[in-house]
Amino acid sequence: MVSDELRQETHPPLTGIQIPGGLRGSVNHVLGWLPSRGLSLFLVDLLAAGASLVAAIVFQRSSLSVLYADFRQILLPVIVFVGLCALIFPSLGMYNKNWRYASIKDLVAILAASALASISFFLLVIYVPNLSAIEPGVVGIGAFILVCLLSMIRISFRIDEVVDFSLTGVARAARKDLIPVLLVEAGHSADLYLRALQRDRNASYLPVGILDSNPRNRGVLLRGVPVLGDLNDFDKVIDSLEANGKRPRHIVFTETLGRFGGSAATLIDRAERRGIAFSRLRAPTELRNPKTEGRFELRPIELTDLLERSQAALDRDALRRLVVGRRVLVTGAGGSIGKELALQIAALGPSELVLLDSCEYNLYAVELEIKEGHPNVSSTYYLCNIREENRVNEIFDAHRPELVFHAAALKHVPLVELNPCEGVLTNVIGTMHVAAAAKRTKVLAMVQVSTDKVVNPTSVMGATKRLAELYCQALDLKSREEPDGPRFMTVRFGNVLGSSGSLVPLFQRQLARGGPLTVTHPDMQRFFMTIREAVELTLQASAYGLEQCLGRGEIFVLDMGEPVRIIDVARRMIRLAGLTPDEDVKIEIVGLRPGEKLREELFDSCEKAVASPVPGVLGALPNSVELSVLNQGLSKLSYCAEARDVAGLFAAMGELLPNYRGGQRPARAPGPRPRIVVAA
């Protein structure tokens, strides 16, 4: 077994053997690749190398007498072999590893070093006469013994860990205050969690079983904890554990809930009916409390966990190539999407980040986050309303951005319905100002953030964003005729969870007041996506579109999965708060609001859905409108909006959008009179 002194040298604090500084420096200088902290291990390895060759000679000749009879003959080969190992072992990185946490990959280094040393020695034995006392067969035996010795030396680093695991297991088994838990999914995260529990004497959880999505894993043991069944066996497993006095009081999801699809929500419903709490593991990559470092923390399950799907494959290299070293401008940077865009772009290394927003507080908030999280990014912040053409041009001329992400818009359906002229001035005319400045300053690409409410629009907000889509599409098609013409891309997606003025914050406020939760219609459905995922896919679509010239004249549509009923979201949020829907908290149907539809769509009736090579992104090919026709119609629309001529404004939108059903209101569901509520 390796001494405590040696074990400490491969694990902080790095004390090591007390060797005079001059001698130690000289040795390290000669060895070159050898870190000072590995000197003790290096010396032990050389002893093992010499011992392995001597043992091989004894084994080959089946007698210990050779050590006395032929001592002088075998001394030189042993010295030569040890010398070879002294040169080869450090050069293959044997001493820049922390062997206390070695893996199979690290043990490959032992095999490689032993093989190279043995092969080199074998060649010397054949061609150097002074080494003829060593039979070639001895070299193979010695190589095997050397691998065993080097492995045993490194395994000894973990003997104290094994002993500690055993003592901890005995101590935990004797405790009566531990909380029995049932794990869901027997994967890598579950293995890490069980290892963490074995190390932590103060852990308060005792795993009694595992449910796994693969039925073939039934009966398998993961670190001593049995897989009792698949997710459909939940009730039977609970009954069986209860009969054996091991009824779990907690369910722990070891993987992201999006991986399980609808099964996660079903499992949570079953757990609630049996009075069992539930949590999920905090991912190893999430920031955690320094006081709990080394432990796996549990965190409450949130609505985003239930609605989030498996993440589409992200091409991180393409995202970096899109942004790194470039000047990037983001409009609406203080909003939910704009802020996330700014943060993700800042992390990708732009040469300059220019952020625009019309709200002072929102701009201050994003400035604070950028400077705290990315202090080395050169960033500038402008209070700017995109309706002001001169102000937009002034900023573009000062910074000459290469990429523009246009997220500024009025997005609240009922409020824009009540203020249609403002919606046109911001969503349509403001977009024209940004696009014109982008074209004039020769940007590489402008990316517009759009919404699923543009599809067969029934609201002013949807209609104005649809016109903005058509305008950017026309510019994108027009730029094909120009050498090095900029790209004008549009990315369309539905509701994002947690954005300002959206569904989840409203329900959270209503829950804090004790309810009721207001739902506009029992059959209302919406597409949902997390802000992070929406922005990641927006950047990915932009990267592919610019680099590979994909989607010319198309709309990038994010794949948002299946729509979700709003009333189901309300019920889930009530349950996640530990309450019972319709008992502890009521759900009130308040009727559809102006401009709302029961069901949103991702593709318009006049669009052609096309395949897209971008992971997680679909393509929509709208019937394009000539830029000259659009300019004429939008000029009339702008005049009506400036003049506050609402009737003329609706007429102008109707001419440009034949399928716009402005002024028509869907029938209300039975219930009280509609109220203005901030919802999807």
Q: What is the pLDDT of residue 202?
A: 67
Whether the per-residue pLDDT at 357 is higher than 90: the answer is yes
Mean pLDDT of 474-490: 87
What is the distance of C-alpha 369 from the center of its chain?
Answer: 19
Q: Do 338 and 401 have their domain in common?
A: yes
Give the residue with greater pLDDT, 665 vs 485: 485
Contacts of 132 (CB under 8 A, 6+ apart): 125
Q: What is the pLDDT of residue 287?
A: 38
Q: Which amino acid is at 393?
A: N
Rounded to 5°, angle at Cα 250 from 249 and 254: 155
Whether the per-residue pLDDT at 411 is higher than 50: the answer is yes
The highest-confidence range among 211-220, 286-295, 391-400, 490-499, by mean pLDDT, is 391-400
Q: Give the C-alpha separation, 448 to 428, whole Å.
A: 12
Q: Indicate the helix (H) or strand (E) that contains 654.
A: helix 646-656
Q: Give the C-alpha separation, 42 to 39, whole Å.
A: 5
Which CATH number does the domain housing residue 543 bear? 3.40.50.720
Q: Collapsing DSSP states into helix, strand and coil, what is residue 486?
A: coil
Kindly provide the residue ranges of all beta strands, DSSP E only, lying in 308-397, ordered along the sequence: 327-331, 352-357, 379-383
Judge contact between 38 and 7, C-beta under 8 A.
no
522 part of a folded domain = no
User: 570 is written with which tokens?
Assistant: 């309300």
Mean pLDDT of 193-213: 78
Whether the per-residue pLDDT at 412 is higher than 60: the answer is yes
Judge contact between 231 and 238, C-beta under 8 A.
no
Q: What is the pLDDT of residue 30?
A: 40
Whether the per-residue pLDDT at 380 is higher than 50: the answer is yes
320-to-317, 323, 345, 528, 545 alpha-carbon distances in Å? 5, 5, 9, 27, 14
165 part of a folded domain = no
At residue 406 the predicted structure's pLDDT band, cuts being 50, 70 and 90, is very high
168 part of a folded domain = no
At residue 363 the predicted structure's pLDDT band, cuts being 50, 70 and 90, is very high
**Number of neighbours of residue 580 by Cβ within 10 angstroms:** 12
Judge contact between 407 and 336, C-beta under 8 A.
no
Residue environment code for 361-399, b if the CB has 16+ CB neighbours within 10 A, otherwise e: ebbeebbeebeeebeebebebbebbbbeeebbeebbeeb
**Where is the domain boundary, 131, 159, 187?**
159
At residue 126 the predicted structure's pLDDT band, cuts being 50, 70 and 90, is confident
Q: Collapsing DSSP states into helix, strand and coil, what is residue 189?
A: helix
pLDDT digit string (tens) for 589-635?
888 877 777 787 777 777 778 878 888 888 888 788 888 899 999 99
Q: Using DSSP, how many helices (H) and how many strands (E) does the chain show?
A: 25, 22
Average pLDDT, the chain: 79
Q: Do 124 and 249 have their domain in common?
A: no
Q: What is the pLDDT of residue 578?
A: 67
246-to-162, 191, 213 alpha-carbon distances in Å? 27, 21, 22
The whole domain housing 23 covers: 4-159
Half-sphere exposure of 658 (CA within 13 A, CB side): 4
Q: Do 147 and 23 have their domain in common?
A: yes
Q: What is the pLDDT of residue 482?
A: 80
Long-range contacts of 366-369, Cβ-Cβ distance < 8 Å, separation of 24 or more: 366/333, 366/334, 366/338, 366/339, 366/342, 369/339, 369/343
Q: What single-letter DSSP state applies at residue 385?
A: -
Q: Give the C-alpha separation, 212 to 327, whole Å.
A: 48
Judge contact between 460 and 416, C-beta under 8 A.
yes
Q: What is the pLDDT of residue 614?
A: 82
Judge contact between 640 and 337, C-beta under 8 A.
no
112 part of a folded domain = yes
What is the distance of C-alpha 336 from the center of its chain?
Answer: 18
Whether the per-residue pLDDT at 672 is higher than 80: the answer is no
Q: Do 290 and 404 have their domain in common?
A: no
- Closest to 589 (Cα-Cα) out of 559, 624, 565: 565
- Longest Cα–Cα distance in the chain: 114
Q: Give the C-alpha separation, 81 to 410, whole Å.
A: 77
Q: Give the C-alpha separation, 198 to 167, whole Å.
A: 9
- Closest to 335 (Cα-Cα) out of 467, 426, 452: 426
566 part of a folded domain = no
Mean pLDDT of 87-103: 73
Q: Do 286 and 336 have their domain in common?
A: no
- Closest to 182 (Cα-Cα) out of 229, 215, 217: 229
Q: What is the pLDDT of residue 68?
A: 55
pLDDT digit string (tens) for 16-43?
333 344 434 434 444 444 444 467 778 8
Q: What is the pLDDT of residue 98?
A: 63
Judge contact between 558 and 537, C-beta under 8 A.
yes
Q: Do 485 and 551 have their domain in common?
A: yes
588 part of a folded domain = no
Q: Collapsing DSSP states into helix, strand and coil, what is residue 485?
A: coil
Q: Do 208 and 340 have their domain in common?
A: no
Q: Do 10 and 125 have their domain in common?
A: yes
Whether the per-residue pLDDT at 286 is higher than 70: the answer is no
Q: Do 106 and 240 have their domain in common?
A: no
CA gyration radius for the chain?
34
Q: Do 412 and 265 have their domain in common?
A: no
Note the helical H segments in 234-331: 234-243, 262-273, 303-307, 316-323
645 part of a folded domain = yes
Q: Collapsing DSSP states into helix, strand and coil, what is residue 188?
A: helix
Give the residue with greater pLDDT, 162 vs 635: 635
At residue 70 the predicted structure's pLDDT band, cuts being 50, 70 and 90, is low
User: 238 is written with which tokens?
Assistant: 């609970």
Per the structure, the count of domains in the chain is: 3
Whether the per-residue pLDDT at 461 is higher than 80: the answer is yes
600 part of a folded domain = no
39-61 vs 136-155: helix crossing angle, rounded to 10: 140
* Total-model pTM: 0.63
The highest-confidence range among 20-29, 119-128, 157-166, by mean pLDDT, is 119-128
Q: Do 154 and 181 have their domain in common?
A: no
> What are the phi and psi torsion angles at 332 (to 5°)?
65, 35
DSSP 3-51: -HHHHHHTSSS-------HHHHHHHHHHHSS--GGGHHHHHHHHHHHHH
Q: What is the pLDDT of residue 448?
A: 96
Q: What is the pLDDT of residue 105?
A: 66
**Residue-level length of the chain:** 680
- Closest to 277 (Cα-Cα) out of 142, 391, 182: 182
Mean pLDDT of 548-576: 82
**Where is the domain boundary, 265, 284, 301?**
301
Q: What is the pLDDT of residue 193?
A: 80
Please state whether beta strands 205-211 and 517-519 pair in parallel, antiparallel, or not at all (unpaired): unpaired
Q: Counting beta carbons within 10 angstroms of the beta carbon of residue 44, is it exposed (0 to 12), middle (13 to 18) or buried (19 or more)?
A: middle
Residue environment code for 131-167, b if the CB has 16+ CB neighbours within 10 A, otherwise e: bebbeeebbebbbebbbebbeebbeebbeeeeeeeee
> What are the phi and psi torsion angles at 393 (to 5°)?
-65, -40
Whether the per-residue pLDDT at 416 is higher than 50: the answer is yes
Q: Do 94 and 137 have their domain in common?
A: yes
At residue 444 the predicted structure's pLDDT band, cuts being 50, 70 and 90, is very high
Q: Give the C-alpha separation, 265 to 235, whole Å.
A: 15
**Where is the domain boundary, 128, 159, 190?**
159
Q: Collapsing DSSP states into helix, strand and coil, what is residue 403?
A: strand
